[in-house]
Chain A
Amino acid sequence: MEILESGLGPMLQPPDLDAFREWNRSKPKALLDKRMSEREAIQRFVQDGDYLGTELYGSVRAPMSLVRELIRQGRKGLRVAGQSVLEIDLLLGASMVTATDFTYIGLELYGVSNVLRREVEGGNLQQVVEWSNAGLAWRFKAAAMGVPFLPMRSMLGTDTFNYSAAKVVECPFTGKPIGLVPALILDVGLIHVHRADKHGNAQIDGISGFAYEMSRACRRLILSAEEIVDTDVIRAAPDRTIIPYYLVDAVVEAPFGSHPGEMCYLYERDEPGIKEWVEASKTPEGTRQYLDRYVYGPADHAAYLEVIGQTRLTELQAMVPGRGG
């Protein structure tokens, strides 16, 4: 295949499929009890300089309790897959990210991310490699398939391509130009789900985002779940399992783990809570105060939920259609 064009961006995480196979071979296949706290999971499985990914994103089924614990413990020089609203925003607010394969970091209807602007424009976040949303998802899909790249027809002809690490080749079958995105194998992934058993068999209600692809593209995978269920619940409906246990290293029980984001059918997004971050993140001082109050202050997720208060949490549950009074 002739390479017609190469993106100029650095390859932040070169794919090594054979090493990934060896790694996956070495992971335990026994049905172990992997339950642990956020603290233990982050301590054991996230290291300085790791390449990290989160799923789904920001205000929706996001692993917020794990992200808050990661900030509490602190890690240096993280590289991240940049598809995010609140979760990577918090990591940026704590200046923990030095490089990103980027597709979207923003505040949706509240606009541009304040901390992203400060970190990039101020030079803290130096390496920003651009991708389209599907480009990044297909990078996970390639890793999930165990192949080094996938062909795609996005990103072609644009600066998004020029500032990526993708390539354009002449297709060996049609002779036309086709884009190639490299597999992206994460050092560690954080995913929040509706329910999982103690071994890590996990089910998600509603849209699955890119959980299927990303969970299969991780060397280490930390799951948080709204509810830990008996394995019989999984076995009663195995067609619902999106993440099988052997991908998973840790299972953390985290009710309201996506707060202030939503969890479909369980609780709605906490709009004032999200706006509080939007406002606070406008200044470095506000950002610091927010992190002190909601991240560094509470010792763990249970303490965080106490800060939010049971009244508010019950309100968010009651706002779900069909669950209100």
Chain B
Amino acid sequence: MSEPGYKPTELLICSAARLMTDNTTVFVGTGIPMLAAALAQKMHAPSLMTIFEFGGTGAILDDLPIAVGGRRTFHRALAAAGICDVIEAAQRGCVEYGFLGGAQIDPFGNLNSTVIGDHDHPKVRLPGSGGANDVGSQCWRTIAIMRHGTQRFVPKVDFLTTPGYLDGPGAREAAGLPAGTGPYRVVTDLAILGYHPESRRMMLVATQPGVSVEQVEENTGFELAPAETVEQAAPPTPEELRLLRDEIDRDRLYI
């Protein structure tokens, strides 16, 4: 593969930004999701309403937030409330998109950010659910952002921190999770993935520029559900990269 002219992180941000639609609400954590939200606001979704976990709603993302409770998460915002207010809004169905990450993801989009190994005697103790489980439970559609690899895309997560489709169709509703919610997309450096409408298993939607279907399969630790068509995602445009580099992350905190 020849030098693409952008970094993997920039590709992840642009891919995630394109998934968001204008005049919707999105639950944002720090890092790539926030850059993606800022980019979407400057491209096609000027009225994308950002919501941060500790209460910031509708911030203007002039300066990149560093902490999910930091003052930049409510910079010129419409409301500065608290954690209960925003997660209860999601529980009432007010929040469309939510972003998630994790150390592991399985075929049903379940995520692990708690431990590698056994819970009580872990090999690696990770930072835990935080708001991830709430976002994965309450938002209508969740988008996971991950680096692709067989250690991350595993048949079974060591610890199920955040619900995807659990063990298959109907499992979320049977467990009592809000009806009609669940994983929507997985954005990686190799592909955009979705979920088969019947089996609820992960399937390819598009490969990233210059990436083959075989490469995606080799880097996925389980079999993907068959997809009828697999598109080629468009590379980041010069305008997207300019906004990202010159306006959104001027200080190169993340890219």
A residues whose Cβ falls under 8 Å from a Cβ of B? 56-61, 82-83, 85, 102-106, 108-109, 111-113, 116-117, 120-121, 123, 128, 130-135, 137-138, 141, 152-160, 163, 168, 176-179, 206-213, 262, 264-265, 269
Contact = CB atoms under 8 A, between A and B. Distances in A.
Name the interface size band of chain B.
35 or more
B138 interface: yes
B71 A211 contact: no
Contacts of A168: 175-176
A157 B171 contact: yes
A209 B55 contact: yes
Interface string B111-122: 000100001011
Contacts of B174: 157, 177
At the interface, is chain A mostly helix, strand, loop or mixed? Answer: mixed
B43 interface: no
B41 to A, nearest CB: 19
Contacts of A109: 30-31, 66-67, 253-254
A61 B81 contact: no
Contacts of A154: 87, 91, 133-134, 137-138
A36 to B, nearest CB: 28
Give the dominant DSSP class at B's interface.
Answer: loop
A207 B54 contact: yes
Contact of A209 (B54, B161, B163): B54
A133 B134 contact: yes
A316 B103 CA distance: 35
B67 A58 contact: yes
A117 B81 CA distance: 32
B209 interface: no
Interface in B15-60: 30-31, 52-56
A221 B122 CA distance: 34
Nearest to A268: B71
B114 A156 contact: no
Contact of A212 (B67, B82, B176): B82
B160 interface: yes
In this complex, the member of A85, A108, A113 whose beta carbon has the largest number of chain B beta carbons within 10 angstroms is A108
23 contacts: A83-B130, A103-B128, A103-B130, A104-B127, A109-B67, A116-B127, A120-B125, A133-B130, A133-B133, A138-B84, A153-B177, A153-B178, A154-B133, A154-B137, A155-B137, A157-B175, A158-B133, A160-B129, A160-B162, A163-B119, A208-B82, A210-B82, A213-B84
